[in-house]
Amino acid sequence: LLACKLLYIFAYPYKSYCVLAGKPVSAACKIEMSPPRVMVKFGHSLTANCTSLYSEIAGIGWESTYGGVGLQTGISTLPFKIDTVERWVIQPTCYVTLPNGDQCEEPLPVTVYQVPESVSIAQPLSEAGPMVEGKQYRIQCDIVNVAPASLLSVYWHKGNKIIYHETFKESTLSPVNKSSILNLTAQRDDDGSQISCEAKLDLGPGELNHSAVQSKSHEVAVLYPPAFINPETETVELSDRENIILYCNATGNPVPVYSWDFPQAIQEMSKNEDVNQPFLIPSFQFPGNYSCKASNTQGTRIKYFTVIEAPSKLLLLNSSHFSACSAL
């Protein structure tokens, strides 16, 4: 093997090793890393192999501020091992010295990560009180002790749907606390839905994808004014066979209360009617204009009914009138 001139010596609590002086190789370095990049959880072990693809080398080694391996001869593959990763920045580089003194090197990308310690919605929605339809609310998700934040994604869930996604521009590699804000304009369809936030490190495919931590789900309560299930105006025909039923069902939060108005001709006779229900079966089947009022703390809506005689009745009346005139 060619003799090499020692350039400098690294001394660390874990390893001491030398880097050989040599002329850098201008062409692509024929070094193969396995795996080509490493994702390692803080406190876990790290192992990677560096293999020289040259037919002959003077030596191979790992240069690193943590866990380096000095120049080894007589081999073409050299492992890089750390039993317990206790630093957030690890920058190992595999180097190969050729018989002519040239040297090439290849860095191994290493990401040290930590899944969030906790993920929670800052103020439970139940404690904040019900929302009001049409108003905008800020909901905060707190992510504690996560690294690196540059790989962090936060997903806001409403039921089974993702309604917002946020990433972060963060250069710090050690654990940090982050927050995500959801701006939600309350809608009546949100009432009763479940809101949660999920923090996930984008570490790539495989088992490393099990890095997601989700907050507890919180139920959304939204106050909104009444809205009728059926059209706000209806025409109903009187029937000889059965009593008419007027339906005034409405959705709303709080649950609406109801009141009814009758045609003036039967108002006195209808004083004993139960007018606090979402439907009405008039005791007196009388044509005219009826109305129903649905109210809650958020508003009032009115529905109108026009009750008319059935065409068969009108035809019978007209026929009787015609017969009477003919007899005269």
In the chain the domains, ranked by start, together with CATH numbers, are 6-112 (2.60.40.10), 118-220 (2.60.40.10), 225-314 (2.60.40.10)
Residue 292, pLDDT score: 95
Q: Which of 23, 26, 22, 20 is nearest to 8 (CA)?
A: 20
Residue 50, pLDDT score: 97
| Cβ 121 vs Cβ 127: under 8 Å | no
**Residues of the chain whose pLDDT is less than 70?**
1-27, 126, 206-210, 267-274, 312-328
Q: What is the largest CA-CA distance in the chain?
A: 141
Residue 325, pLDDT score: 45
Residue 214, pLDDT score: 95
Residue 269, pLDDT score: 65
Residue 11, pLDDT score: 37
pLDDT in tens, 288-325: 999 999 999 999 999 999 999 877 654 444 544 444 44
Residue 10, pLDDT score: 39
By DSSP bridging, strand 279-280 and strand 257-261 are: unpaired
**Angle ∠(170,174,180) on CA atoms, nearest 5:** 45
Residue 207, pLDDT score: 52
Residue 211, pLDDT score: 81
Global pTM value? 0.76
Residue 271, pLDDT score: 64
